[in-house]
Amino acid sequence: MLSRSPATQSTPNTRFRGELAALLLLAIPVVLSELGWMAMSIVDTIMVGRLSPAAIGAVGISSAIFYTPALFGIGLLLGLDTLVASTLDRIGRVHVYGVLGGLDFLQRGGRIGGAQALLGSLLSIKPVIQVKDGVVAEESKQRTRSRALAYLAAKVAGDAPLERLGVADGACDDITDVLKQISAIDVEHPLVSVQLGPVVGSHTGPNTVGVCYIVSARPAGAGE
Protein backbone atom coordinates (compact mmCIF):
# COMPACT_ATOMS: atom_id res chain seq x y z
CA MET A 1 0.00 0.00 0.00
CA LEU A 2 1.39 3.33 -1.08
CA SER A 3 1.63 6.03 1.56
CA ARG A 4 0.28 9.43 0.70
CA SER A 5 2.94 12.13 0.58
CA PRO A 6 2.15 15.43 2.24
CA ALA A 7 0.95 18.16 -0.07
CA THR A 8 3.72 20.44 -1.14
CA GLN A 9 1.49 23.13 -2.60
CA SER A 10 -0.29 25.66 -0.43
CA THR A 11 -4.04 25.50 -0.17
CA PRO A 12 -6.27 28.30 -1.51
CA ASN A 13 -6.99 29.46 2.05
CA THR A 14 -3.27 29.71 2.82
CA ARG A 15 -2.60 31.68 -0.35
CA PHE A 16 -5.55 33.97 0.42
CA ARG A 17 -4.22 34.68 3.90
CA GLY A 18 -0.78 35.43 2.50
CA GLU A 19 -2.14 37.80 -0.15
CA LEU A 20 -4.41 39.48 2.39
CA ALA A 21 -1.50 40.06 4.78
CA ALA A 22 0.58 41.60 1.99
CA LEU A 23 -2.35 43.78 0.92
CA LEU A 24 -2.92 45.02 4.47
CA LEU A 25 0.77 45.78 4.82
CA LEU A 26 0.48 48.13 1.85
CA ALA A 27 -2.97 49.51 2.65
CA ILE A 28 -2.57 50.39 6.33
CA PRO A 29 -0.04 53.24 5.77
CA VAL A 30 -2.25 54.66 3.00
CA VAL A 31 -5.31 54.53 5.26
CA LEU A 32 -3.42 56.23 8.09
CA SER A 33 -2.23 59.00 5.77
CA GLU A 34 -5.78 59.63 4.55
CA LEU A 35 -7.04 59.74 8.13
CA GLY A 36 -4.33 62.27 8.86
CA TRP A 37 -5.55 64.51 6.02
CA MET A 38 -9.10 64.27 7.36
CA ALA A 39 -7.92 65.02 10.89
CA MET A 40 -6.27 68.22 9.66
CA SER A 41 -9.62 69.49 8.35
CA ILE A 42 -11.30 68.61 11.63
CA VAL A 43 -8.62 70.45 13.60
CA ASP A 44 -9.06 73.51 11.36
CA THR A 45 -12.79 73.51 12.03
CA ILE A 46 -12.31 73.17 15.79
CA MET A 47 -9.76 75.97 15.94
CA VAL A 48 -11.70 78.41 13.73
CA GLY A 49 -15.21 77.44 14.75
CA ARG A 50 -15.07 79.44 17.95
CA LEU A 51 -14.49 82.64 15.97
CA SER A 52 -17.44 82.97 13.57
CA PRO A 53 -19.26 81.26 10.68
CA ALA A 54 -17.48 83.62 8.29
CA ALA A 55 -14.13 82.37 9.55
CA ILE A 56 -15.16 78.76 8.92
CA GLY A 57 -16.25 79.71 5.40
CA ALA A 58 -12.92 81.44 4.79
CA VAL A 59 -11.05 78.31 5.86
CA GLY A 60 -13.15 76.19 3.51
CA ILE A 61 -12.51 78.48 0.55
CA SER A 62 -8.79 78.69 1.29
CA SER A 63 -8.58 74.89 1.50
CA ALA A 64 -10.19 74.57 -1.94
CA ILE A 65 -7.77 77.15 -3.36
CA PHE A 66 -4.82 75.30 -1.81
CA TYR A 67 -5.80 71.80 -2.93
CA THR A 68 -6.37 72.79 -6.57
CA PRO A 69 -2.67 73.41 -7.37
CA ALA A 70 -1.55 70.84 -4.78
CA LEU A 71 -3.27 68.07 -6.74
CA PHE A 72 -0.90 68.67 -9.66
CA GLY A 73 2.09 68.22 -7.37
CA ILE A 74 0.57 65.08 -5.87
CA GLY A 75 0.10 63.67 -9.37
CA LEU A 76 3.76 64.29 -10.19
CA LEU A 77 4.87 62.63 -6.95
CA LEU A 78 2.75 59.55 -7.68
CA GLY A 79 4.63 59.16 -10.96
CA LEU A 80 7.93 59.00 -9.07
CA ASP A 81 7.03 55.59 -7.62
CA THR A 82 7.62 53.94 -10.98
CA LEU A 83 10.86 55.85 -11.60
CA VAL A 84 12.26 55.06 -8.14
CA ALA A 85 11.35 51.37 -8.42
CA SER A 86 12.93 51.18 -11.89
CA THR A 87 16.09 52.90 -10.67
CA LEU A 88 16.47 50.65 -7.64
CA ASP A 89 16.02 47.62 -9.87
CA ARG A 90 18.81 48.77 -12.20
CA ILE A 91 21.36 49.70 -9.51
CA GLY A 92 22.39 46.10 -8.96
CA ARG A 93 22.66 45.51 -12.73
CA VAL A 94 24.89 48.46 -13.55
CA HIS A 95 28.60 47.82 -14.22
CA VAL A 96 31.33 50.35 -15.01
CA TYR A 97 34.80 49.35 -16.20
CA GLY A 98 37.67 51.27 -17.71
CA VAL A 99 41.12 50.83 -19.24
CA LEU A 100 43.67 53.56 -18.59
CA GLY A 101 46.19 54.66 -21.16
CA GLY A 102 48.93 54.86 -18.54
CA LEU A 103 49.76 55.64 -14.93
CA ASP A 104 51.24 59.11 -15.38
CA PHE A 105 48.05 61.03 -14.71
CA LEU A 106 47.26 58.88 -11.67
CA GLN A 107 50.68 59.74 -10.30
CA ARG A 108 50.14 63.46 -10.92
CA GLY A 109 46.82 63.29 -9.11
CA GLY A 110 48.48 61.63 -6.12
CA ARG A 111 46.52 58.40 -6.48
CA ILE A 112 49.63 56.22 -6.85
CA GLY A 113 53.29 56.68 -5.94
CA GLY A 114 56.13 57.49 -8.28
CA ALA A 115 57.79 54.09 -7.86
CA GLN A 116 54.57 52.29 -8.69
CA ALA A 117 54.03 54.47 -11.77
CA LEU A 118 57.63 53.86 -12.94
CA LEU A 119 57.35 50.10 -12.46
CA GLY A 120 54.04 50.05 -14.29
CA SER A 121 55.52 51.98 -17.20
CA LEU A 122 58.54 49.67 -17.44
CA LEU A 123 56.32 46.57 -17.45
CA SER A 124 53.77 48.17 -19.80
CA ILE A 125 51.02 47.49 -17.28
CA LYS A 126 47.59 48.73 -18.32
CA PRO A 127 45.25 48.64 -15.32
CA VAL A 128 41.58 47.81 -15.69
CA ILE A 129 39.50 49.71 -13.15
CA GLN A 130 35.99 49.17 -11.85
CA VAL A 131 33.52 51.57 -10.26
CA LYS A 132 31.51 49.77 -7.60
CA ASP A 133 29.39 51.34 -4.87
CA GLY A 134 30.78 54.73 -5.86
CA VAL A 135 34.41 53.67 -5.32
CA VAL A 136 37.05 53.30 -8.05
CA ALA A 137 39.05 50.12 -7.57
CA GLU A 138 41.54 48.09 -9.55
CA GLU A 139 39.84 45.17 -11.26
CA SER A 140 42.76 43.66 -13.16
CA LYS A 141 46.30 44.28 -14.42
CA GLN A 142 47.18 43.47 -18.02
CA ARG A 143 50.67 43.59 -19.53
CA THR A 144 49.71 45.25 -22.84
CA ARG A 145 46.94 47.52 -24.00
CA SER A 146 45.61 44.97 -26.49
CA ARG A 147 45.23 42.44 -23.70
CA ALA A 148 43.55 45.02 -21.49
CA LEU A 149 41.03 45.91 -24.19
CA ALA A 150 40.37 42.24 -24.93
CA TYR A 151 39.85 41.62 -21.23
CA LEU A 152 37.44 44.55 -21.09
CA ALA A 153 35.44 43.26 -24.05
CA ALA A 154 35.32 39.79 -22.49
CA LYS A 155 33.96 41.22 -19.24
CA VAL A 156 31.16 42.96 -21.11
CA ALA A 157 30.37 39.91 -23.26
CA GLY A 158 30.31 37.68 -20.20
CA ASP A 159 27.40 39.64 -18.73
CA ALA A 160 25.30 39.60 -21.91
CA PRO A 161 22.46 39.99 -22.74
CA LEU A 162 22.53 43.69 -21.88
CA GLU A 163 19.80 46.25 -21.59
CA ARG A 164 21.99 49.23 -22.44
CA LEU A 165 25.66 49.71 -23.32
CA GLY A 166 27.71 52.88 -23.52
CA VAL A 167 31.36 53.50 -24.40
CA ALA A 168 33.35 56.62 -23.51
CA ASP A 169 36.84 57.34 -24.75
CA GLY A 170 39.39 60.03 -24.08
CA ALA A 171 41.18 60.74 -27.36
CA CYS A 172 41.76 57.04 -28.08
CA ASP A 173 43.48 56.08 -31.30
CA ASP A 174 42.09 52.54 -31.12
CA ILE A 175 38.48 53.30 -30.18
CA THR A 176 37.37 51.78 -33.51
CA ASP A 177 38.93 48.44 -32.53
CA VAL A 178 37.16 48.59 -29.16
CA LEU A 179 33.79 49.18 -30.80
CA LYS A 180 34.40 46.26 -33.16
CA GLN A 181 35.13 43.91 -30.27
CA ILE A 182 31.85 44.72 -28.51
CA SER A 183 29.66 45.26 -31.58
CA ALA A 184 28.45 41.64 -31.59
CA ILE A 185 27.24 41.73 -27.97
CA ASP A 186 23.49 41.27 -27.52
CA VAL A 187 22.09 44.67 -26.46
CA GLU A 188 18.42 45.64 -26.34
CA HIS A 189 19.08 49.29 -27.23
CA PRO A 190 21.56 50.86 -29.67
CA LEU A 191 25.15 51.29 -28.53
CA VAL A 192 26.01 54.78 -27.28
CA SER A 193 29.53 56.14 -27.89
CA VAL A 194 30.62 59.45 -26.33
CA GLN A 195 33.76 61.40 -25.47
CA LEU A 196 35.05 61.57 -21.90
CA GLY A 197 34.47 64.89 -20.19
CA PRO A 198 37.27 67.13 -18.92
CA VAL A 199 36.71 66.21 -15.26
CA VAL A 200 37.33 62.49 -15.74
CA GLY A 201 39.83 63.01 -18.54
CA SER A 202 42.08 65.21 -16.42
CA HIS A 203 42.46 62.38 -13.87
CA THR A 204 42.81 59.43 -16.26
CA GLY A 205 44.65 60.99 -19.18
CA PRO A 206 44.44 60.23 -22.91
CA ASN A 207 43.73 56.79 -24.38
CA THR A 208 41.28 55.99 -21.58
CA VAL A 209 38.34 53.78 -22.50
CA GLY A 210 35.33 53.27 -20.27
CA VAL A 211 32.28 51.08 -20.63
CA CYS A 212 29.06 51.33 -18.69
CA TYR A 213 26.29 48.81 -19.16
CA ILE A 214 23.12 47.52 -17.58
CA VAL A 215 22.65 43.77 -17.51
CA SER A 216 19.31 42.77 -18.96
CA ALA A 217 16.62 41.61 -16.55
CA ARG A 218 15.56 38.91 -19.01
CA PRO A 219 17.51 35.64 -18.96
CA ALA A 220 19.84 34.74 -21.77
CA GLY A 221 17.99 33.29 -24.77
CA ALA A 222 14.60 34.62 -23.67
CA GLY A 223 14.26 36.86 -26.70
CA GLU A 224 15.18 34.13 -29.20
Q: pLDDT tens for residues 143-186?
A: 788 888 999 999 999 999 999 999 998 888 888 888 999 988 99
**The pLDDT of residue 22 is above 70:** yes
pLDDT by residue (tens digit) across 33-45? 888 877 887 887 8
CA distance 2 to 17: 32
CA distance 112 to 106: 6
DSSP classification of residue 31: H
* Segment 95-107 mean pLDDT: 73
* Segment 93-102 mean pLDDT: 85
Q: In which band, very low, low, confident or very high, does the pLDDT at 121 lie, cut at 50, 70 and 90?
A: very low
Q: Are 48 and 59 in contact (CB under 8 A)?
A: yes
Q: Are 196 and 206 in contact (CB under 8 A)?
A: no
**The pLDDT of residue 123 is above 50:** no
**The pLDDT of residue 29 is above 70:** yes
Question: What is the second-level CATH architecture of the domain 94-215?
Answer: 2-Layer Sandwich (3.30)
Residues of the chain with CATH 3.30.1180.10: 94-215
CA distance 164 to 215: 7
Whole-prediction pTM: 0.60
Q: In which band, very low, low, confident or very high, does the pLDDT at 94 lie, cut at 50, 70 and 90?
A: very high
